[in-house]
């Protein structure tokens, strides 16, 4: 299978001044479905090591996605069209080339997969190279490549990993050093058929790899030795899915990793790459450790993201702490996220937002001029009145406190007895955050109260809260969603006769479960890319993996409880269609590789056979994440019409 080069060069673009053009109009744009569905006008902003160039995703007036690079000293830009591919990330490597990661849905043999590719772009020549997909017997058929390190000590070279034959003619995740002109590829280390991650030092020397055996349920960390030999340094049993996550390095060069532990709020560990001595690097108490921030120029961990009702970024490095504090003082009330910085950290790119304010990007220059605004993500939503988010908790039927976000329609008046949308998140091991969300705000600006319960099974609120959702599909997790409705009605917030449930992915499953397991609770139901048949989902996961034992299959079997066939059938909405009372809107991307399109078609067939009201909307060319503007707009338009028909108009 040959992949066509869909990236093409754009040249001769000129910006006047560092503050880029006003991509919106002075007048507030109406809060239309088109405005909410629009791709971000500016996104994924990155700054080069020396601060002389800034790269960003840009959406043209015709809706096309480009990657543009601004050379600050000359005020000139160059760029590329992404074409039909979907932009996933932008990053500079140390020599100044731009690394662009995109994905596309591709059919290989009988199955569709989401293929991820990384391209390099040379600003001076405009040359575009597809990195590490040719030259190996299997690489062009792989669904993705991994960017391991940008090699701070080796300009114009990066470390990458992809699957190919190893030295034993076995398909393995191998480690490669790749020149960003695409002409040279050096094999730095071979993995095994169980390898899933690598880490190197800043010069590209392999430090460690991690293997997972899904049949033996073991995870092992191997340290690199002499002559490309690896020795086992850490062994964790009872890990049906991958039990170690490589995070980065400490200032002293120790490897930082996370592992499956009984820690309630999360721990990070370190291991000496030479001696194998392990220790604790960081422990979080009271707030869940959600993720880390890494300095790309050194691979050193410089900050963490902490959970709770109001998540926060906590920088470890003192200079980044000062920069973040300065931005927060300058922009009070804004959520400040540092997204990129130069090698010396004297220039930083930050994203500012609130739950009611779309993101904007700015450049902080500690050497002056101090702040330059770079652009707004959604200029079409500038000055549009948005919903008001409140973070609180409610008591579930068993007395457990459940976090919940409530977004009220725009305005300052009290809301009582209002039409309401219950909006459970996907995952289910995921969470909502009090940041700007186009979908939530779209529904709130239609006059509906939007309630997002962080049901048990959600992450961000401690291990016990997340683990309480295991094997609770259609049970405790669903009860928490139902209890959110009861709570909102008791608060006088929601009209009990006008409640609809809307969700995507696992949230789509929760919506369909609500329609079938609590049919009197909801006036209408919307499932986007939702799961309707749990046993069928497990079969599909096994087919995708090509084995009955893989890390992914093991995870879903454990989380759903798929070893209990009767229980999973009883928790499958498709098998309970006779119980439905409310009209159901099903929407699903045809190219969804996470929850297959058939999950909605078999639900539609079951509803049709049961004589129940439903509508199935096929989102052509769309993936699981609603990545395309036109289908995102189609989804919002269908959603708005359906809600208006069955909930009536919202609060004025």
pLDDT value, residue 375 = 93
Percent with pLDDT over 90 in the chain: 81
Supply the pLDDT for residue 300.
96
pLDDT of residue 548: 81
Q: Is the pLDDT of residue 3 over 60?
A: no
Q: What is the mean pLDDT of the chain?
A: 91
What is the band of 15 on the pLDDT scale with cuts at 50, 70, 90?
very low
- In tens, the pLDDT along 165-208 reads 999 999 999 999 999 998 899 999 999 999 999 999 989 999 99
Q: How confident is the model at residue 109, as a pLDDT?
A: 67
Chain segment 131-159, per-residue pLDDT in tens: 998 888 888 778 888 999 999 888 999 99
Burial class (CB in 10 A: 0-12, 13-18, 19+), 367: exposed
Q: In this predicted structure, which of 56-60, 291-295, 356-360, 385-389 has the lowest mean pLDDT?
A: 56-60
Task: Check: CB of residue 81 under 8 Å from CB of residue 59.
Answer: no
How far apart are alpha carbons 255 and 276 in whole angstroms?
10
Could you report the per-residue pLDDT of 277-288, keeping only the tens digit for each?
Answer: 999 999 999 999
CATH code reported for the domain at 388-533+572-647: 3.40.50.1820
Q: For residue 100, count other CB atoms closer than 10 A to its CB.
A: 26
Residue 300 carries which DSSP code? B
Do residues 609 and 638 touch, judged by C-beta distance below 8 A?
A: no
The whole-number average pLDDT for the span 576-581 is: 98
Q: Can you list the pairs that 132-140 forms with residues at least 24 positions away whose Cβ atoms lie under 8 Å? A: 132/160, 132/162, 132/176, 132/178, 132/185, 133/3, 133/162, 135/185, 136/162, 136/164, 136/165, 137/164, 137/165, 138/163, 138/164, 138/165, 138/171, 139/163, 139/164, 140/1, 140/2, 140/3
Question: Which whole number is the average pLDDT over 596-625?
Answer: 97
- On whether the CB atoms of residues 600 and 529 are closer than 8 A, the answer is yes
Nearest Cα to Cα of residue 366 among 27, 150, 47: 47
Helix (H, G, I), strand (E, B) or coil at 299: coil
> In this model, does residue 16 exceed pLDDT 80?
no
- pLDDT (0 to 100) of residue 152: 86
HEC readout, 216-240: CCEEEEEEECHHHCEEEEEEECCCC
Q: What is the pLDDT of residues 396-439, one digit of tens each?
A: 999 999 999 999 999 888 899 999 999 999 999 999 999 999 99
Q: CA 284 to CA 286: how far, in whole Å?
A: 7
Residue 468's pLDDT is: 97
Distance CA 454, CA 392 (A): 10
Q: Of how many residues is the chain composed? A: 652
Say how far apart CA 614 and CA 219 lie, in whole Å.
46
Q: Tell me, what DSSP letter sits at residue 1?
A: -
Using an 8 Å Cβ cutoff, are 454 and 391 in contact?
no
How far is 81 from 68, CA to CA, in rounded Å? 9
**Measured CA distances, 643 to 296, 447, 482, 584, 614 (Å):** 45, 11, 19, 11, 13
Residue with tokens 């979907």: 86
Neighbour-count burial for 307-331, b at 16+ CB within 10 Å, e otherwise: bbbebebebebeebeebbebbeeeb
Average pLDDT (70-87) is: 90
Specify the 3-state DSSP secondary structure of 478: helix
What percentage of the chain reaches a pLDDT higher than 70? 95
Answer CATH for 144-308 from 3.30.43.10, 2.120.10.60, 3.30.70.1140, 3.40.50.2020: 2.120.10.60
Among candidates 361, 335, 359, which has minimal Cα distance to 349?
361
Peptide bond into 428 cis (omega under 30): yes
Is the pTM higher than 0.85?
yes
Report the DSSP pairing between strands 128-130 and 111-121: antiparallel
Residue 197's DSSP bridge partners are: 210
**Domains 144-308 and 388-533+572-647 equal at CATH topology level:** no
- Cα 148 → chain centroid: 19
- Element (H or E) spanning 421, and its range? strand 418-422
Whether 19 has a pLDDT exceeding 60, the answer reads no
pLDDT at 135: 83
Average the pLDDT over 230-241 and give the result. 94
pLDDT of residue 387: 95
Q: Is the pLDDT of residue 163 over 90?
A: yes
- Separation between Cα atoms, residue 247 and residue 306, nearest integer Å: 16
For position 26, what pLDDT does the model report?
A: 39
454-509 pLDDT tens trace: 999 999 999 999 999 999 999 999 999 999 999 999 999 999 999 999 999 999 99
- Domain ranges for the chain: 1-130+317-383, 144-308, 388-533+572-647
């Amino acid at each position: 299978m040959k992949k066509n080069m869909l990236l093409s060069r754009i040249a001769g673009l000129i910006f006047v001044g560092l503050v880029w053009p006003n991509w919106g109009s002075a007048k507030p744009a109406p809060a239309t479905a088109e405005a909410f569905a629009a791709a971000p006008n500016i996104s994924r902003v990155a700054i080069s090591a020396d601060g002389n160039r800034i790269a960003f995703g840009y959406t043209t007036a015709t809706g096309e996605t480009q990657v543009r690079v601004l050379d600050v000293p000359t005020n000139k830009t160059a760029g590329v069209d992404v074409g039909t591919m979907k932009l996933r990330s932008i990053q500079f490597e140390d020599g100044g080339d731009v690394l662009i990661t995109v994905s596309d849905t591709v059919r290989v043999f009988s199955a569709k997969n989401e293929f991820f590719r990384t391209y390099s772009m040379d600003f001076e020549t405009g040359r575009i190279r597809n990195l590490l997909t040719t030259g190996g017997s299997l690489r062009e058929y792989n669904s993705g490549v991994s960017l391991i390190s940008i090699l701070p000590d080796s300009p114009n070279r990066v470390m990458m990993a992809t699957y190919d034959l190893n030295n034993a003619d076995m398909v393995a995740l191998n480690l490669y050093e790749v020149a960003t002109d695409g002409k040279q590829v050096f094999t730095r280390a071979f993995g095994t058929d169980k390898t899933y991650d690598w880490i190197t030092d800043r010069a590209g020397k392999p430090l460690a790899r991690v293997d997972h055996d899904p049949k033996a349920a073991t995870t092992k960390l191997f340290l690199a030795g002499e002559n490309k030999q690896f020795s086992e340094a850490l062994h964790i049993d009872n890990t049906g899915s991958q039990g170690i996550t490589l995070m980065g390095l400490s200032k002293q060069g120790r490897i930082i990793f996370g592992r499956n532990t009984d820690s309630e709020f999360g721990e990070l560990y370190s291991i000496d790459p030479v001696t194998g001595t392990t220790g604790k690097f960081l422990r979080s108490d009271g707030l869940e450790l959600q993720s880390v921030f890494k300095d790309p120029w050194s691979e050193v961990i410089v900050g963490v993201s902490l959970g709770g009702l109001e998540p926060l970024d906590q920088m470890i490095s003192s200079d980044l702490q000062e920069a973040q504090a300065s931005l927060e003082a300058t922009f009070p009330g804004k959520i400040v996220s540092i997204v990129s910085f130069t090698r010396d950290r004297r220039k930083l790119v930050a994203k500012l937002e609130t739950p009611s304010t779309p993101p904007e990007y700015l450049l902080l220059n500690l050497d002056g001029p101090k702040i330059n605004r770079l652009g707004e993500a959604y200029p079409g939503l500038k000055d549009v009145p948005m919903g008001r988010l409140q973070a609180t908790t409610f008591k579930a039927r068993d007395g457990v406190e459940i976090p919940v976000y409530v977004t009220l329609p725009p305005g300052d008046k009290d809301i009582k007895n209002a039409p309401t949308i219950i909006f459970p998140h996907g995952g289910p091991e995921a969470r909502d955050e009090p940041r700007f969300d186009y979908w939530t705000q779209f529904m709130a600006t239609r006059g509906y109260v939007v309630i997002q319960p962080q049901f048990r099974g959600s992450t961000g609120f401690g291990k016990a809260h997340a683990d309480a959702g295991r094997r609770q599909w259609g049970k405790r997790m669903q009860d928490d969603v139902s209890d959110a409705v009861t709570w909102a009605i008791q608060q006088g917030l929601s009209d009990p006769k006008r409640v609809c449930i809307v969700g995507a992915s696992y949230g789509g499953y929760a919506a369909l479960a609500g329609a079938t397991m609590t049919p009197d609770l909801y006036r209408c139901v919307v499932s986007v890319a939702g799961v309707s048949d749990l046993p069928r989902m497990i079969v599909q996961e096994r087919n995708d993996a090509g084995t009955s034992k893989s890390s992914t299959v093991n995870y879903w079997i454990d989380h759903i409880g798929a070893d209990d066939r009767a229980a999973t059938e009883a928790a499958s909405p498709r098998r309970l269609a006779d119980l439905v009372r409310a009209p159901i809107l099903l929407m699903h991307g045809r190219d969804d590789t996470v929850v297959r399109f058939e999950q909605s078609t078999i639900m539609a067939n079951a509803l049709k056979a049961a004589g129940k009201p439903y509508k199935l909307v096929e989102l052509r060319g769309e993936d699981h994440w609603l990545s395309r503007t036109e289908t995102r707009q189609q989804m919002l338009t269908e959603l708005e019409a359906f809600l208006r028909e069955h909930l009536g108009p919202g609060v004025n």
